Amino acid sequence: MRKPMIAGNWKMHKTAGQAVFLVQDLAGLVERVKDVEIVVCPPYIALKSISTIIEMDKLNICLGAQNVYWEEKGAFTGEISPVMLKDLRVDYVIVGHSERRHIFGDTNEIVNKRLKAVLAHDMKPILCVGETQEEREEEKTFDIIKEQIFESLADISSEEMENVVIAYEPVWAIGTGLTATPEQANDATRNIRALVGSLYNPEIAMITRILYGGSVKPDNIAELMDEPDIDGALVGGASLDAQSFAKIIKYQEIGE
Ligand code: PGA
């Protein structure tokens, strides 16, 4: 069984102090949640304090980073290495987010390097893929996703693949308020599962968690999670508020 995952990507929001308050507020709202894996991905500068809170208070929250450099150490001004993240007990690292790809020029080859570095240091990558509006209009969605999946997962063994989470995030739905319909999202996640099956085997495809991301909110999470190939969500804007993020995490209670 694939355990659902709800991950919050706080992007470049919150000072270290604000991030601590947010995780504390969230923790109080979700303390009884057991059947959903909760992940918060604050900016680097908040990782240490949140890691300490998670450990001291034994929170049911995992820690994620938003990016990583692939070398362990050296003259790479401004970068953060996988060794540094592992030292802070980071569990997950987002790689290939569309903002990294489009603003900072991350190619599939770079994403592959980051992903390998994460796995080599016993952390789990959340690999983001997704098409732009233009690519969707030109009916290139499937080809783009295929290329992103194949190239980003180059040289990853099936054993390593068991630790990879994939997030389908159509670029046109990120931060725009436009959500893919549950059917559109499930079409893409089903395709991704088939691609993983063709690269590895059906068992790996069955256990790989595939999230949806792009304007996920408390009022659309339940219908997205109803889809058979959507195993969770990567949430941006709505994860910046403890109440709305907690509602998304507790999607099973919506409508009860
Ligand atoms: P959004 O961001 O929920 O604000 O659309 C999603 C993401 O970028 O992961």
pLDDT digits (tens, 9 = 90+) for 108-151: 999 999 999 999 999 999 999 999 999 999 999 999 999 999 99
Quote the CA–CA distance of 24 and 129 in Å, as a whole number: 31
d(CA 85, CA 107): 22
Centroid of ligand 1 to alpha carbon of 128 (angstroms): 11
Give domain 5-254's CATH superfamily: Aldolase class I (3.20.20.70)
124 token code pair = 């789990």
If you measure from the C-alpha of residue 52 to the centroid of ligand 1, how many angstroms do you get, rounded to a whole number? Answer: 26
Measured from the CB, is residue 230 less than 6 Å from ligand 1?
A: no
In the residue annotation, 97 being an active-site residue is answered as: yes
128 ligand 1 Cβ < 6 A: no
Tell me if residue 71 is catalytic: no
Secondary structure string (H, E, C) spanning 77-107: CCCCCHHHHHHCCCCEEEECCHHHHHHHCCC
pTM score over 0.85: yes
- C-alpha atoms less than 13 angstroms from C-alpha of 194 in its C-beta half-sphere: 9
Q: What is the pLDDT of residues 162-219, one digit of tens each?
A: 999 999 999 999 888 888 899 999 999 999 999 999 999 999 999 999 999 999 999 9
How far apart are the CA of 235 and the centre of ligand 1, in A? 5
Q: What atom in ligand 1 is closest to the CA of residue 175? A: 5
Report the pLDDT averaged over residues 216-226: 97
Catalytic residue among 37, 99, 135, 169: 169
State yes or no: pLDDT of 256 exceeds 70.
no
Q: Give residue 237 CA to ligand 1 midpoint distance, Å.
A: 6
On the CB side of 15, CA atoms within 13 Å amount to 2
Q: Ligand 1 pocket, 82 CB below 6 A? A: no
| Average pLDDT of span 58-70 | 98
In the chain, domain spans: 5-254
How many angstroms does the Cα of residue 216 sit away from the middle of ligand 1?
Answer: 7
Angle at 106 between CA 115 and CA 83, to 5 degrees: 40
Helix axes 16-30, 242-249, angle to 10 degrees: 40
What SS3 state is found at 217?
Answer: coil
Q: Is the CB of 51 under 6 A from ligand 1?
A: no
pLDDT of residue 178: 84
Q: What is the mean pLDDT of the chain?
A: 97
Residue whose Cα lies nearest atom 2 of ligand 1: it is: 236
The verdict on the CB of residue 102 being under 6 Å from ligand 1 is no
Query: Measured between alpha carbons, how far is 87 from 124 in angstroms, rounded to an integer?
Result: 14
In percent, the amount of the chain with pLDDT more than 90 equals 96
Quick one: pLDDT at residue 151? 98
Look up tokens 């209670």; give the residue. Answer: 253
Percentage above 70 pLDDT, the chain: 99
- Can you list the pairs that 121-124 forms with residues at least 24 positions away whose Cβ atoms lie under 8 Å? 121/82, 121/83, 121/85, 121/86, 122/86, 123/82, 123/85, 123/86, 123/90, 123/91, 123/92, 123/93, 124/91, 124/92, 124/93, 124/163, 124/164, 124/165
Q: Closest ligand 1 atom to the C-alpha of 173? A: 5
The answer to whether 111 and 96 are in contact (CB under 8 A) is: yes
Residue 179 CB less than 6 A away from ligand 1: no
